[in-house]
Structure 1
Amino acid sequence: MDVDHAVLLFAGGVGSGLTGTMAGLASLVSYPVLLAVGIPPVAANVTNSVALLSTAAGTFAGAQRELRGQAVRILSLSMYAVAGGLAGAILLMKTSSAFEWVVPWLIVIGAAALLFREPLRRWYGRPGRRPPVPLMVFVIGIYGGYFGAAAGVLLLAVMAVAAVEPLAVTNAVKSMVLGASNLAAAILYAFIAPVHWSAVAPMAVGCLLGSWIGPALVRRTPERPLRIAIAVAALGLASYLWWKVFAR
């Protein structure tokens, strides 16, 4: 890998770490960057999942204030995320031919969930209509293992609907739980998937730096504009992926 690509991957990692910890959409930056350096879609996806492991470490270092008292919650949800991540990774290896067609639709669902969070929260709070959060974490873990991009959007949407707390806390907990899902998938990918390890290293270092800085920025960012910006960015990513499919 040449120096230009390494620098681009590092910069993409910084942007991904910032976006992930602030907005729940880390792969809005990292996945397109991996495609831009010439890595095929499925290989870019599994490489992305491995590189993003450092985001959880950076979040842990930079969000101690938000993570205080959240250990039990994170551990309990992480068990479901790990199970889902393993299932999603296996699913990807079995259905990789359909990968590029399915993913944009899943991203749009995540964007819609964030745009309509308040109506969803009211609906979610009605008796008999609240899907268990662990079940939703497991399902999103499957999605995260299948395709890393926008898994954070979906998890952030579910956690934001299910709990009333500052966005900074939700973001930090989301990043740790999603990190567990990524870890499970990444271990499997390391043995059975086409991970581009030369791309993982510079991107992972960038993700570590960006995710360490991100929590401090979240504390100073108004919640509603940030949530809308996340959703708009997700729709942009979906449009980009559709364009990639139909431009062939």
Structure 2
Amino acid sequence: MSAVAGAAGTTSGGAALLAVAGVLAGLAGTAGGITSLISYPALLAVGLPALSANIANIVAVVATWPGAALASRRELAGRGAWLRRWALVAALGGAAGSVLLLTTPPGVFGRIVPFLVVAGSLTLFAQPRLAARHGRSSAGRPSRLRRAVMPFGLTAMSLYSGYFGAGAGVMILALLLSTGEPRLPTANALKNMLTGAAALTSAVVFTAVGPVDWAAVAPLAAGMFAGATLGPRITRRVPAALLRWLVGGLGLGLAVQLWATPGG
């Protein structure tokens, strides 16, 4: 199960490729984009089979959590209670998704996931209208919407994050923007913390019972940590409308790719 040991782990070129890919993936993912668009193909390029690459990718994403937290202290200030509540939900979902990956036939979610990514991308496009509609609603109505949608949506998306993960961040970002957090930099910072919590418990599951190719994870994770310290800063400076369209467009492109070649 150490396919990269001869392909990348013992060669400086393979490790360097993963490190550079990690920087770009960490930057893209924590800025609101899709980490796996860069990191997963890089793992395949250095010789890992699909399942090993998927596991290594999910484990390496843990490194984006502390990097994004350091860069997002401004946006996360005062959100400790919210994070403790919802990070637990994300963590449990991520662990459940990893167990599913290790115990179910490949491709169980393969034909469903592209539609979820499309839904998340379209929600990003529609977010300003949704926020305006919520603003015109009565004070209790958005609260009821959050209570109904947030637990179910976050559980499902975190479960998918632990199973395959590509596009999970876009879907969680769309969920947060449409259920009560209209500011994109803040929603993005909270999303980074939730996806990090899901990745952490997934990594624990894989380390305990699954094959983890640490020779691939180490350089990729190091790059992801570095990139994650830059992503939130970019989110603050790029106009929200432009970032929303960029992330949504990447999400639609990923959905097409996942439909053509289902993950898992």
**Aligned pairs (5 A) from 1:24-39:** 24-39=33-48
Q: Which amino acid aligns with 1:36?
A: A
Q: Give the match for residue 243 of structure 2.
A: 226
Q: Kindly indicate whether the alpha-carbon contact (under 8 Å) linking 2:145 and 2:179 is maintained by their aligned counterparts in 1.
A: no
Q: Percent identity?
A: 38
Q: Structure 1 residue 73: deviation in Å?
A: 1.0
User: Are the structure 2 counterparts of residues 19 and 4 from structure 1 closer, same or farther at C-alpha, using a change threshold of 3 Å?
Assistant: same
User: Are the structure 2 counterparts of residues 72 and 44 from structure 1 closer, same or farther at C-alpha, using a change threshold of 3 Å?
Assistant: same
User: Are the structure 2 counterparts of residues 165 and 106 from structure 1 closer, same or farther at C-alpha, using a change threshold of 3 Å?
Assistant: closer
Q: Give the match for residue 215 of structure 1.
A: 232
Q: Kindly indicate whether the alpha-carbon contact (under 8 Å) linking 1:41 and 1:100 is maintained by their aligned counterparts in 2.
A: no
1:45 maps to 2:54: yes
Superposed CA deviations along residues 116-136 of structure 1, whole A, max 9, x for unmatched, are 334555677864655342332
Q: Give the match for residue 4 of structure 2.
A: none
**Aligned pairs (5 A) from 1:170-209:** 170-209=187-226
Q: Which amino acid aligns with 2:122?
A: A
Q: Give the match for residue 71 of structure 2.
A: 62
For 1:172 and 1:117, the matched residues in 2 are separated by 17
Superposed CA deviations along residues 52-82 of structure 1, whole A, max 9, x for unmatched, are 0010110111111111111111111011111
Q: Kindly indicate whether the alpha-carbon contact (under 8 Å) linking 2:181 and 2:187 is maintained by their aligned counterparts in 1.
A: no
Between structure 1 and structure 2, the one with the greater Rg is 2
Q: Give the match for residue 160 of structure 2.
A: 143
For 1:26 and 1:159, the matched residues in 2 are separated by 18
Q: Kindly indicate whether the alpha-carbon contact (under 8 Å) linking 1:24 and 1:156 is maintained by their aligned counterparts in 2.
A: no
Q: Give the match for residue 169 of structure 1.
A: 186
1:19 maps to 2:28: yes
Structure 2 counterpart of 1:106, from 91, 101, 116: 116
Q: Structure 1 residue 39: deviation in Å?
A: 1.7
Segment drifting more, 181-190 vs 111-120: 111-120
Equivalent position SS for 2:175 = helix
Q: Structure 1 residue 24: deviation in Å?
A: 4.3
For 1:107 and 1:32, the matched residues in 2 are separated by 18
The two structures have a TM-score, normalised by structure 2, of: 0.84
Q: Kindly indicate whether the alpha-carbon contact (under 8 Å) linking 1:89 and 1:188 is maintained by their aligned counterparts in 2.
A: yes
Q: Which amino acid aligns with 1:4?
A: G
Superposed CA deviations along residues 191-248 of structure 1, whole A, max 9, x for unmatched, are 2223221110011011100111111111110011111111111222233344446xxx
Q: Give the match for residue 157 of structure 1.
A: 174
The two structures have a TM-score, normalised by structure 1, of: 0.89
Equivalent position SS for 2:229 = helix
Q: Which amino acid aligns with 1:202?
A: P
RMSD of Structure 2 on Structure 1 (CA): 2.1
User: Are the structure 2 counterparts of residues 184 and 221 from structure 1 closer, same or farther at C-alpha, using a change threshold of 3 Å?
Assistant: same
Superposed CA deviations along residues 94-123 of structure 1, whole A, max 9, x for unmatched, are 224215833434333322222233455567
